Amino acid sequence: MMATTDFARLLTRYFSQYLPAQRNLSERTIQSYRDTFKLLLQFGRDERDWMPEHLTLDQIDRTCLEDFLDWLETTRHCGISTRNQRLAALRTFFRWVAYEAPEFMEQTQRILGMAWKKTPQPIVTYLTPAAMQALLAQPAGHTARGRRDRTLLALLYDTGARVQEIVDVRVRDIRLANPAVLTLTGKGSKRRVVPLMANTATLVAEYLTEHRLDRPEFRDHPVFFNPQRRALTRWGITYILQKYAAQARVQAPGKFPETVSPHLLRHSKAMHLLQAGVNLIYIRDFLGHSDVTTTEIYARADAEMKRQALESATIPGIDLAPTSWAEDTDLMQWLAQLGR
């Protein structure tokens, strides 16, 4: 039997060696996993009177973790998606434990068998092309900050990037020679190259020249930065977007959702590509999704939008109930003649 501190020793190795060195996960992903175990220890302290320094692995069985996930929903009022995210972190840990401490194999297999809690089908919110144009027209072109913000919003939309991907963009990631492209670093440090449309490439080129970022010594400089020349944060970019969305909402009432976030522009780009006839596989690669099933939410949203449009276009007072084929003598005769 392992020592009474087996859980602490395994958890330390997991976070100090396995996740950063073997899995090469990003700092943000590791922090998310860490938060899961901080919450688990808080649950144990408040609900089970655990002392973290005396906690053993065999105390954390499937029943315990099911109670922990229920506690997240009922006591901390977390949503189902957050519950499933915490379960994913737990399953990753116990999958590793199964190899490192095989004497706990039965316990880990029971934990790995825990099912996700079903969530309602997400509704994709996005901006119409007209609303997107209204938003991009808001930054003032006669000020340096306005030109920066216009370039930022255009790049965020044109590349369909996650906000953190834009935060991390450095000058070296931009290629303006034809064909213009931007290299993004996404989840799991995966890199992808996305094209820049001509108008966006022109904006970026003028912006880099204005701020002298086109010089070789600035290759590692963040593209978008604050007055201290530090990279804009996710919250800073969100603030900029919401400021211009509030202005655009006055000019285009009813075209903007109540909540506007950088991810809304990513959704908008994906929907506009889909509506333009672009294949889902290309959209998957463009967005950096690991599985096309993730990208299919846009196809479902587009199909639902078309269904609602057709329903709203139905002429009132006309009975559109389908009749039986057997009652359609012309159709029956036509079918009977087939193959003669």
Which positions are catalytic?
162, 187, 263, 266, 289, 298
Q: Which residues contact 288 (CB under 8 A, 6 or more apart)?
A: 162, 184, 186, 187, 190, 192
Question: What is the spatial distance between Cα 115 and Cα 149, in angstroms, rounded to a whole number?
Answer: 44
Inter-CA distances, 122 with 53, 150, 276, Å: 41, 30, 22
Alpha carbon 152 to its chain's center: 19
Dihedral sign for Cα 225, 228, 229, 234, please: negative
DSSP class of residue 54 equals G
CA-closest candidate to residue 266, choices 175, 153, 174, 173: 153
**For residues 203 and 150, is the Cβ–Cβ distance under 8 A?**
yes
224 dihedral zone (left: phi>0; alpha: psi -120 to 50; beta): beta
Per DSSP, which regions of the chain are E strands? 174-175, 181-185, 191-195
Preceding omega of 20 cis (within 30 degrees of 0)? no
